[in-house]
Chain A
Amino acid sequence: MPPKPRKPPPRRPGTRNRNLLIAAAGAVAVVAVLIVVSVVVSGGGDGGTTTTSGGSTETLFAGIPQKGAELGSQTAPVTLIQFEDLQCPICRAYQEDGFSGVVDDYVRPGKVKLRFAGLAFLGQDSEKALRYALAAGDQGKLWPYVAALYANQGDENSGWVTDDLLERLANANGLDWGRLQKDAASKAVASQMEATAAQAAQMGVPGTPTFFVQIGNGQPYVVQPNSFSIDAFRPILDDALSQ
């Protein structure tokens, strides 16, 4: 004869409440740790913060993927290639005008990715700034570092790209300063600069800033917005996206 199933003893209400309290306390503790780790690791991870006086890059790049000299989703159908010189005041004007709109309206939703094509034809300060910007790309933070450099741009070849400035901006953006210095002096960065200069010559880049649009893996074509406002870039990018 099979044994008679025994009825479980009724639980006391106090036990239920205690169990739920234990569950809630455990949950709060684990999640608090996860959120703190997420904020610490990711919050500054995309280089949200800078010491810039102009431009609130604190939120501009937050959460957007950065890979080397590229900003945005790797699967974005359109690429906007930006030939720039970090000493060029017109490039800075673009940075302060339509750039944030391009990032917010096209890069963040995954429609367009940006490729920084840095040139250094204006002089020594251009070259030094570019070396460090490209080195910041190795740490996934080229874009906020470039934004910080533009915001602190000095007179052409006045020696404004000092080690102090570079270190201050590196620290503000959570970059490893020692590694940045090492990478900036590396052959890899020099090769990257030479390749971009050769590409600019081959594409007939007349100066900076010059913009090219690339649809998928197609041939890039030059575009000439009539101003640096987002309204000037909108039809160019919308047109590329509709093809």
Chain B
Amino acid sequence: MSDRALRAGVALVALAGTAVAGYLTYVHYQPDALICTSSGGCETVQESSYAELVGVPVALLGLFAWIAVLALVAWDSELARTLVAAIGLGAAAFAVYLVVLQAFVIDAWCVWCLVNDVVLVPLLVILAVWRVLRQPDG
């Protein structure tokens, strides 16, 4: 796969991530806007003490991370690629922690968080690491 395709993939994933994290940040401040698929689990997760880190919503941290990825994809240098991979790997590790929290501590599932943690973040890691590792064209 060409670097151009990988770059477009990262940009698309980051756009989707920005949308999901933006939505989760919005509902953090406007809980009534939350659209859940089952039994109030989203609310429980969003209102749990783990939804914030020293007063900053975890969703907002995610939003900043996705926006940073978008900016770095636009910049596109070797350093930018490395930074995207770093953000992706960090996000993946934190996503594992958040999924474990939902499964064993909060005991409730936030579907929108799972879309971010289980689908988008792993996709970002695959694409970003691939970009760093791939052989240059020609």
A4 at interface (Cβ–Cβ under 8 A)? Answer: no
* Chain B 72-100 interface mask (CB, 8 Å, partner A; 1/0): 00000010011101111111111001000
CB proximity of A85 to chain B, nearest CB, Å: 28
Q: Are B93 and A109 in contact (CB under 8 A)?
A: no
Q: State whether A16 and B93 are in contact (beta carbons under 8 Å apart), knowing that A27-B87, A109-B40 are contacts in the complex.
A: no
Q: Are B94 and A31 in contact (CB under 8 A)?
A: yes
Q: Which of A47-73 contact B (CB under 8 A)?
A: 59, 62-65, 73
Looking at chain A, what size class is its interface with the partner chain? 35 or more
CA distance A11 to B108 in the complex (A): 46
Q: State whether A23 and B132 are in contact (beta carbons under 8 Å apart), knowing that A28-B93, A74-B31 are contacts in the complex.
A: yes
Q: Which of A1-56 contact B (CB under 8 A)?
A: 7-8, 10-11, 16, 19-20, 22-24, 26-28, 30-31, 34-35, 37-38, 41-42, 45-46
Q: Are B132 and A16 in contact (CB under 8 A)?
A: yes
Q: Which chain A residue has the least Cβ–Cβ distance from B94?
A: A31
- In the complex, chain B residues whose CB is within 8 Å of the CB of A19: 78, 81-82, 85, 132
Q: Are A31 and B97 in contact (CB under 8 A)?
A: yes
A225 at interface (Cβ–Cβ under 8 A)? Answer: no
- In the complex, chain A residues whose CB is within 8 Å of the CB of B39: 109-111
Q: Are B48 and A64 in contact (CB under 8 A)?
A: yes
Q: Are A108 and B44 in contact (CB under 8 A)?
A: yes
Q: Are B44 and A110 in contact (CB under 8 A)?
A: yes
B16 at interface (Cβ–Cβ under 8 A)? Answer: no
Q: Which of B7-15, B18-26, B49-57, B112-120 contacts A (4 or more CB under 8 A)?
A: B49-57
- In the complex, chain A residues whose CB is within 8 Å of the CB of B43: 73, 75, 110
Cross-chain contact of B50 among A11, A38, A73 (Cβ < 8 A): A38
Q: Which chain B residue has the least Cβ–Cβ distance from A67?
A: B47
A240 at interface (Cβ–Cβ under 8 A)? Answer: no
B101 at interface (Cβ–Cβ under 8 A)? Answer: yes
Q: Are B54 and A62 in contact (CB under 8 A)?
A: no
Q: Are B47 and A74 in contact (CB under 8 A)?
A: yes
Q: State whether A20 and B129 are in contact (beta carbons under 8 Å apart), knowing that A63-B44, A74-B31 are contacts in the complex.
A: yes
Give residues in A with beta carbon < 8 Å to B.
7-8, 10-11, 16, 19-20, 22-24, 26-28, 30-31, 34-35, 37-38, 41-42, 45-46, 59, 62-65, 73-76, 104, 108-111
Closest 8 pairs between A and B when the two form their complex, measured CB to CB:
A110-B40, A27-B90, A27-B89, A63-B106, A23-B86, A63-B48, A45-B49, A23-B85
